A and B are shown apart, each in its own frame.
Chain A
């Protein structure tokens, strides 16, 4: 029996522990609240109210809601009223009000604090997301090399990151007579701001920014009659604009060269944080625009240089018809070193060449020019094509050790049924037979120029019947996204057909040249046996 009692005691002890572990925070809180409340009723002191304050705080940390707290209080009151004498009931309710009020005040105080912290956390999260988007935008902007591309990109991104119904980004240089480059991104609601483009309002903003060199922000109210917003306000007449923000694009010499303008914030006015994001964007864009201007300037020089170095007019050679096209790479990218030439040689022969100095920019264009001149000189010297190409191979490293070059040289002799051909690392020429059949001259070629100083160049022989057409081109023409083979097939298909050789040449470029090609491309067509 004794043992059994002990067993019961231990058992009940275990049960107690178990039940205490199962007690919910609400039960524990209710217990503490009831005890403090009854003590307070016994003696209504400030001490008891301080305890109510602590319980109110605790309710929050126990993650109880306002309804829990009220329910706990009302059960405590009910049990107190039940126990109180009838005449004391009023006193119980009075005291209960003070106690509950105090617990509620503390509860609300901490809730407000949490609300504020959560609000702040949300804002921080938003800001972090904005910074992330800003980094993405910076990468995209820096990858874009045309001013138009940069401005379009930033107009879209700024509008999305900061949030606005319209964003206008533009560059206007004082020497521009054509109004500069402007791009806009807008929502349906923001479409009406299109009329800003080309308007005096942007000039007003620009001259303002030229003086201040810093961003400006206005609320809906501030828009009314303040510089530099008067033009915008006029335009917005009768419609809601929840603020505007503008920041200057600066040149490296801290001159205002353009702006980014955001109009109409969906969530209210633009904030200081928005201004900070916009300022960072304008810094990125300013640098990118400056780089793009350098690119375009160099591109311009190189293109001029290249066009100057290419034959302005193909020679008139009896017995052959000639057509050529040169297409520089897309704007912003530097031109390459494509070249071609046709030269009348002694004994009625004709030297026909195309080449590609690998590399871009002014330097490649200049090397190309020298190579073409040298080709002319060596070819006129009368040496066989393999010797001419070998000479050019020895010359190239002395012009520029960093460049190498591919080329095809075909020497045609009307007295022979075959032409001599050297192909140094260049894509295979295409021959279109009089009946329209095509074949690539893709027998093993030789190394490109500039790879091996004493390389030997293989001299090939190719039959070119009267009425057939030789098609020489550079890789820029056929480098399709789908692959070189796809490009070659397309070229084969495009070259067939009779008619004016220049018309065919233009059509081939239109049909074959990849859209937005970065590389430059050259095409030279020679039809034999025709005037």
Chain B
């Protein structure tokens, strides 16, 4: 089992691919199914996309988590960009700048088992997500 965390600086598509690769590898090592690993990679792409689009750059931190006998992949995406004015809007797929771009955020929340977002205007945004092994959806 992989120990410690993996940190990937994200500033463009190439790094997104690297982060995805790490996420998929970690998920596979932890015994998550192919579908689950795909969902982890999808969520990574989504949050990484948000970083590139809204903050320019940031980082994605991946590690394994254990909780009451369950194992899972934790993805933390962090940036020091402009932050999200209204997190509730962002999570509801509302984007004053228009488009469906941020619809990935509420979607990612549904794909992953745990999802938390903290954001402060002018300081940045941190999204924390976990995909548990054996759970397609949170109960």
Q: With A102-B38, A114-B100, A117-B93 known to touch, is A109 a contact of B111 (CB < 8 Å)?
A: yes
Q: Does B86 contact A (CB under 8 A)?
A: no
Chain B residue contacts of A46, Cβ below 8 A: 17-18, 20-21, 24, 41
CB of A108 within 8 A of CB of B107, answer yes
Cβ-closest chain B residue relative to A54:
B45
B86 to chain A, nearest CB (A): 13
Known: A106-B45, A109-B107, A117-B94. 12 other contacts (CB 8 A): A50-B20, A57-B104, A102-B38, A106-B46, A109-B104, A112-B110, A112-B111, A113-B93, A113-B102, A113-B105, A116-B92, A116-B110
Contact with B along A89-131 (1 / 0, CB 8 A): 0000000011001100110111111101100100000000000
Chain B residue contacts of A113, Cβ below 8 A: 93, 100, 102-107, 110
Chain B residue contacts of A108, Cβ below 8 A: 107, 111
Contact with B along A300-334 (1 / 0, CB 8 A): 00000000000000000000000000000000000
CB of A105 within 8 A of CB of B38, answer yes
Chain A residue contacts of B21, Cβ below 8 A: 46
CB < 8 Å neighbour of B34 from A61, A101, A106, A112: A101
CB < 8 Å neighbour of B92 from A49, A50, A57, A120: A120
The count of chain A contact residues (Cβ–Cβ below 8 Å) is: 27
Chain A residue contacts of B107, Cβ below 8 A: 108-113, 116
Q: Does B66 contact A (CB under 8 A)?
A: no
Most B CB atoms within 10 A — which of A54, A60, A61, A120? A120
Chain B residue contacts of A97, Cβ below 8 A: 34
Chain B residue contacts of A47, Cβ below 8 A: 17
A50 to B100 CA separation, bound complex (whole angstroms): 19
Q: Does A409 contact B (CB under 8 A)?
A: no
Q: Does B42 contact A (CB under 8 A)?
A: yes
B127 to chain A, nearest CB (A): 14
Q: Does A53 contact B (CB under 8 A)?
A: yes
Contact with A along B101-139 (1 / 0, CB 8 A): 011111110110000000000000000000000000000
Q: With A46-B24, A50-B45 known to touch, is A110 a contact of B100 (CB < 8 Å)?
A: yes
Chain A residue contacts of B106, Cβ below 8 A: 112-113, 116-117
CB of A114 within 8 A of CB of B39, answer no
CB of A105 within 8 A of CB of B42, answer yes
B116 to chain A, nearest CB (A): 17
B14 to chain A, nearest CB (A): 8
Q: Which residues of A contact B (CB under 8 A)?
A: 45-47, 49-50, 53-54, 56-57, 60-61, 97-98, 101-102, 105-106, 108-114, 116-117, 120
A98 to chain B, nearest CB (A): 7
B98 to chain A, nearest CB (A): 12
A406 to chain B, nearest CB (A): 64
Chain B residue contacts of A98, Cβ below 8 A: 34, 38
CB < 8 Å neighbour of B93 from A56, A101, A120: A120
A98 to B105 CA separation, bound complex (whole angstroms): 23
A106 to chain B, nearest CB (A): 5
Chain A residue contacts of B13, Cβ below 8 A: 50
Chain A residue contacts of B97, Cβ below 8 A: none
Q: Does B35 contact A (CB under 8 A)?
A: yes
Chain A residue contacts of B73, Cβ below 8 A: none
A-B contacts, 26 of them at CB < 8 A, read A46-B17, A46-B20, A46-B21, A50-B13, A50-B20, A50-B45, A54-B45, A57-B104, A61-B100, A97-B34, A105-B35, A106-B45, A109-B42, A109-B43, A110-B103, A111-B107, A113-B93, A113-B102, A113-B106, A113-B107, A114-B100, A116-B110, A117-B93, A117-B103, A117-B106, A120-B94
Q: Does B27 contact A (CB under 8 A)?
A: no
Cβ-closest chain B residue relative to A123:
B92
A224 to B127 CA separation, bound complex (whole angstroms): 41
Cβ-closest chain A residue relative to B16:
A50
A50 to B52 CA separation, bound complex (whole angstroms): 15
Chain A residue contacts of B16, Cβ below 8 A: 50
Cβ-closest chain A residue relative to B48:
A50
A98 to B46 CA separation, bound complex (whole angstroms): 18
Chain A residue contacts of B39, Cβ below 8 A: 105
CB of B46 within 8 A of CB of A50, answer no
B51 to chain A, nearest CB (A): 14
Cβ-closest chain B residue relative to A104:
B38
Interface residues of B in 30-59 (CB under 8 A from A): 34-35, 38-39, 41-43, 45-46
